[in-house]
């Protein structure tokens, strides 16, 4: 992966500096909202790992973290809304205030189902923090997003945790892919 290749096929949407400053804002907001709560950040692997690592360090509260991995069943390229839990939480969330951290919300179906599953486990509250939201292709479930980094157009993006066939998660910025066939 050469720098030249990145320049040709990737169009930067948000620089590392822009992301940092937006994540700081979200961290401040969460710090204010959760001052007297028992906060658990739940990261949805693998895409949220970079976002969550930065976000948690901008939250000035005692909190704990946990992770889940899910696979969404797709009908072609469209999510069906069924999810399989590949890795479950390590600790119970009963009576906890949960913020689910996601990399990107596309149709919203994966997160809708995931919050239903977590909601059945007795959490005091469940909210959603996503780095990116594609509002356009939301096809079925209306999903309430409580904390959103950026709303983006309906393009395929990589970087800052988001992958293309497992790669590009380590890019420090977020880029749209010009030619997905060449990624
Ligand atoms: P949803 O159920 O909201 O349609 O699916 C969201 C999931 O699809 C995200 O967690 C992510 O794994 C994947 N996804 C959706 N759009 C993109 C994108 O533009 N780039 C990448 N890398 N993954 C995406």
Sorted by where each starts, the structural domains of the chain and their CATH numbers stand as 19-152 (3.40.50.2020)
Q: What is the pLDDT of residues 24-52, one digit of tens each?
A: 999 999 999 999 999 999 999 999 999 99
Give buried/exposed letters for 60-86 (b at 16+ CB in 10 A, else e).
Answer: ebebeebbbebebeeeeeebebebeee
Q: Residue 107: pLDDT band by 50, 70, 90 thresholds?
A: confident
Residue 4 pLDDT exceeds 70: no
> Is residue 33 among the annotated active site residues?
no
**pLDDT in the model for residue 137:** 61
Q: Residue 18: pLDDT band by 50, 70, 90 thresholds?
A: very high
Percent of the chain with pLDDT over 70: 89
Q: Which atom of ligand 1 is nearest to the CA of 112?
A: 2
For residue 112, the CA-to-ligand 1 centroid distance in Å is 13
Question: With a 6 A CB cut-off, is 68 part of the ligand 1 pocket?
Answer: no
Q: Residue 143: pLDDT band by 50, 70, 90 thresholds?
A: confident
Q: What is the pLDDT of residues 52-82, one digit of tens each?
A: 999 999 999 999 999 999 987 665 556 666 7
């Amino acid at each position: 992966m050469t720098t030249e290749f990145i320049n040709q096929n990737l169009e930067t949407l948000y620089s590392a500096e822009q992301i940092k400053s937006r994540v700081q804002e979200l961290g401040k907001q969460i710090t204010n909202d959760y001052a007297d709560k028992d906060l658990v950040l739940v990261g949805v692997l693998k895409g949220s790992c970079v976002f969550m690592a930065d976000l948690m360090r901008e939250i000035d509260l005692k909190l704990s973290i946990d992770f889940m991995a899910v696979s969404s069943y797709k009908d072609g390229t469209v999510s069906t809304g069924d999810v399989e839990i590949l890795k479950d939480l390590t600790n119970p969330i009963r009576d906890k205030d949960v913020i689910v951290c996601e990399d990107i919300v596309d149709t919203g179906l994966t997160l809708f189902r995931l919050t239903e599953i977590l909601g059945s486990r007795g959490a005091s509250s469940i909210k959603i923090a996503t780095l990116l939201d594609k509002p356009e292709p939301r096809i079925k479930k209306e999903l309430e997003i409580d904390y959103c980094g950026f709303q983006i157009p309906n393009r395929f993006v990589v970087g800052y945790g988001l992958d293309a066939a497992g790669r590009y998660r380590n890019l420090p910025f977020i880029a749209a892919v010009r030619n997905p066939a060449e990624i």
